[in-house]
Amino acid sequence: MSDEEHHFESKADAGASKTYPQQAGAIRKNGYIVIKNRPCKVVEVSTSKTGKHGHAKCHFVGIDIFNGKKLEDIVPSSHNCDVCFLICYIYMFFWESIYLPEIMFIFCQIKDGFAEGKDMVVTVMTAMGEEQICALKDIGPK
């Protein structure tokens, strides 16, 4: 018997994962995928046929849902890809810790709406630990 104590640190709880696996061949256009550790909306999928070197391959073109950059990845169709959990929240107030969108028309709508004293509802998209306002709705004057 040893007199040493063993300490184990819990790194994550149930449901703490930011992604889940899905077979590459099952991911379609307008779905979501993680490319280069960034959550992306799939805008184009093309599948090559099986060649003499093995698997059919899926070529994904995605747009990062937070910064709008175009990313690409090629994965064997029978292998798993990471797909991000995407959650949208609707708030009737402005949450100061939320990153203001770089999408200029939403930023201008938020600024103008608050200057006019309107009540607004914002939709906040959350994925992989990031959040951003993605839509805005005017519900009338205060």
pLDDT digits (tens, 9 = 90+) for 23-73: 999 999 999 999 999 999 999 999 988 877 778 999 999 999 988 899 999
116-142 b/e (C-beta count within 10 Å ≥ 16 → b): eeeebebebbbbbeebbbbebeeeeee
Q: Taking the chain, what is the end-to-end CA distance rounded to the nearest angstrom?
A: 71
What is the dotted CATH code of the domain comprising 19-84?
2.30.30.30
Does 42 or 138 have the greater pLDDT score?
A: 42
Does 76 or 54 have the greater pLDDT score?
A: 76
Give the residue from 134, 135, 30 showing the smallest Cα distance to 83.
30
Cα 74 to Cα 81: distance, rounded to the nearest angstrom: 10
Cα 65 to Cα 1: distance, rounded to the nearest angstrom: 54
The ranges assigned to domains in the chain are 19-84, 86-140
Give the residue from 73, 13, 11, 87 showing the smallest Cα distance to 38.
73
How far does CA 35 lie from the centroid of its chain? 10
**Mean per-residue pLDDT of the chain:** 82
For the cut 80, the answer to whether the pLDDT of residue 132 exceeds it is: yes
Q: Is the pTM of this model over 0.75?
A: no
Write phi, then psi, for 38 (nearest 5 degrees). -125, 135
Cα 125 to Cα 131: distance, rounded to the nearest angstrom: 6
